[in-house]
Amino acid sequence: MAGSTLASPSVDPAAADEAARAGAVRPAAAFSPARDAWRRFRRHRLAVVSLGVLSIIAFAVVFGPFIWRLAINDIDFAAQLKPPSLAHPFGTDDLGQDILARLISGGRISLAVGLAAMVVAVLVGVLVGATAGMSRGHIDAGLMWLADLFLSLPQLPLLLLVIYLFRDSLKSIFGPEGGVFILIVAVIGGLRWMPVARLVRAQFLSLREKEFVEAARALGASRLRLVVHHILPNALGPVIVAGTIDVANAIIAESTLSFLGLGFPPDIPTWGRVLFDAKDYLDVAPYWALFPGSAIFLAVLSINFIGDGLRDALDPRRVM
């Protein structure tokens, strides 16, 4: 063990030694995998802190409106562009609207869109990548053709086409907000799975030839078991990174979409939207941009560390 680099900040050598012995063989069945995972997760201090931060943000956006009762669209020209104060802890924008209230209300959508779109992108990406990486020949070629096709599609006309084709029918089925939400998540997720798929496939190509996979295969493990238990956990690193980057991208992409008329109506202050609105006032009202910017940054940061913690927790080979 000595000289080996610690992959985790909080590993204490004694426990690690112990765990190494336990980890050399697969954990006994008596020992609940979920509890084991949670134990491993807790070891990752930053992940635990991040979980706390994300919970606070989630709590704020869900219950915030009941505590901070200012209306999000209360236009008050007397209070234009006021810096943070007791009345407006995050200041006001150019229409005198309270930025804190807007961020709380918009945060629900931003977080939900970010997470949901990430899940869609990662799920589709892992599914396609794993299938392609395990199969050879036509299926692999076909799936990678699909990925290439999606990579090549010019997004703007495609988005306009999607709005044109699906907006009204989705709106009538799921209501205006639900329909837009589904559309946005589908669009962002649907246009971002390709890197995940390519990464997973590349990892699979390499991993499936590794000794431990050979060994498992020789022991008669089924294909599914090979993928789920042996290869996938080892391919998760890039997937988690891609996942966190996707959350950030999705939050920002949502605001871009609203400029195409695809996003939520312009009066819904999602984080990306507030950040965009603030940009022309960056020199006189830096706080206007600071708060949404920090919100996105904090959310992405904590999701990333939670991802790191999850990987440690789910990776049985990890010494802890």
Partner 1 sequence: MSSDFLLRRLLIAIPSLLGISVVLFTVLALAPGDPFGELVTNPNVPAEVRLALRASLGLDDPIYLRYFRWLWAMLQGDWGFSFVSRMSVDRLILQRLPTTVAVIGASQILAIMVAIPVGVLAAAKPYSMFDQIANTFAFIGFSLPTFFTGLLLILVFSVQLDWLPIVYSTEVGGSGLTYIWNAVRQAIMPVTVLGLFQGASLVRYVRSSVLEVIKLDFVTTARSKGIGERKVLVLHVVRNALIPVVTLVALQMPIVFGGAIVTEQIFRVPGIGSLLISAMLANDTPVIMGVTFVFSCLVVLFNLLADILYGWLDPRIALR
Partner 2 sequence: MMMDETELKGLLSKVRSGRLSRRGFVQRMAAVGVVAPLATQLLAIGGVAQAQTKSSYKPTKRGGGGALKVLWWQGPTLLNPHFATGTKDQDGSRVFYEPLAAWDPEGNLVPVLAAEIPTRANGGLAADGKSVTWKLKQGVKFHDGAPFTADDVVFNWEYSRDPATAAVTSGSYKDVQVEKIDQFTVKVIFPVSKPFWADAFIGVNGMIIPKHLFKDFTGAKSREAPTNLKPVGTGPYLFKEFKPGDLLTGDINPNYHMPNRPYFDSFELKGGGDAVSAARAVLQTGEYDFAWNMQVEDEVLLRLEKGGKGRVHINESGSMEHIQFNTTDPWTEVDGERSSIKTVHPTLSDKAVRDALALLIDRDSVQKYIYGRTGIATANYLFNPPAFRSKSITDTFNVDAAIDILEKAGWKKGADGIREKGGKKLKFVFQTSINQPRQKTQAIFKQACQKAGIEIEIKSVTASVFFSSDVANPDTYPHFYTDLQMYTTGPSFPDPGVWMQSYLSREVCQKDNKWQGRNITRYRNKAWDDLYDKAEQELDPIKRAAMYMELNNMVVRDRAVVGVIARSGVSAMNGKLQANPSGWDSNFWDLFDWYKDA
95 touches, from partner 2, partner 1, none (C-beta below 5 to 8 Å by class): partner 2
The interface with partner 1 within residues 177-196 (CB under 8 A) comprises 194-195
CB 103 within 8 A of CB 174: no
Should residue 69 be labelled a site residue for partner 2 when binding is judged by CB under 8 A?
A: no
Should residue 52 be labelled a site residue for partner 2 when binding is judged by CB under 8 A?
A: no
Binding partner 2 by CB under 8 A: which of 9, 52, 175, 266?
Answer: 266
Joined together, the tokens standing for residue 20 give 């190494």
Binding partner 1 by CB under 8 A: which of 20, 123, 156, 228?
Answer: 156
> Cα-flanking dihedrals φ and ψ of residue 257, to 5°?
-60, -35
Choices 118-126, 141-149, 245-253, 264-272; region in contact with partner 2 by CB under 8 A: 264-272
Binding partner 2 by CB under 8 A: which of 32, 55, 73, 222?
Answer: 73
Query: What's the rounded Cα separation, in Å, for the pair 80 and 92?
Result: 6
Binding partner 2 by CB under 8 A: which of 280, 294, 297, 317?
Answer: 280
Query: What's the rounded Cα separation, in Å, for the pair 135 and 205?
Result: 10
- Residue 207 neighbours by CB under 8 Å, 6+ apart: 213, 230, 231, 234, 235
Task: List, as own/partner pairs, every contact residues 14-22 make where C-beta atoms lie below 8 angstroms and the sequence separation is at least 24, other chains included.
Answer: 15/320, 16/319, 16/320, 19/319, 19/320, 20/319
Should residue 110 be labelled a site residue for partner 1 when binding is judged by CB under 8 A?
A: no
261 touches, from partner 2, partner 1, none (C-beta below 5 to 8 Å by class): partner 2
Helices of type H across the chain: 13-24, 33-43, 45-67, 99-134, 138-152, 155-190, 193-207, 211-218, 223-225, 232-258, 271-278, 286-314
To the nearest whole angstrom, how small is the minimum distance from the Cβ of residue 114 to partner 2? 22
From residue 148, give the alpha-carbon distance in Å to each of 141, 155, 287: 10, 14, 41
Residues that bind partner 1 (CB under 8 A): 3-9, 136-137, 141, 144-145, 147-149, 151-154, 156-158, 160-161, 164, 194-195, 198-199, 202-203, 205-206, 209-210, 234, 237-238, 240-242, 244-245, 248-249, 252, 255, 272, 275-276, 279, 282-283, 289, 293, 296-297, 300-301, 304, 317-319
Residues that bind partner 2 (CB under 8 A): 73-75, 77, 80, 94-95, 160, 163-164, 168, 176, 258-261, 265-267, 277, 280-281, 283-284
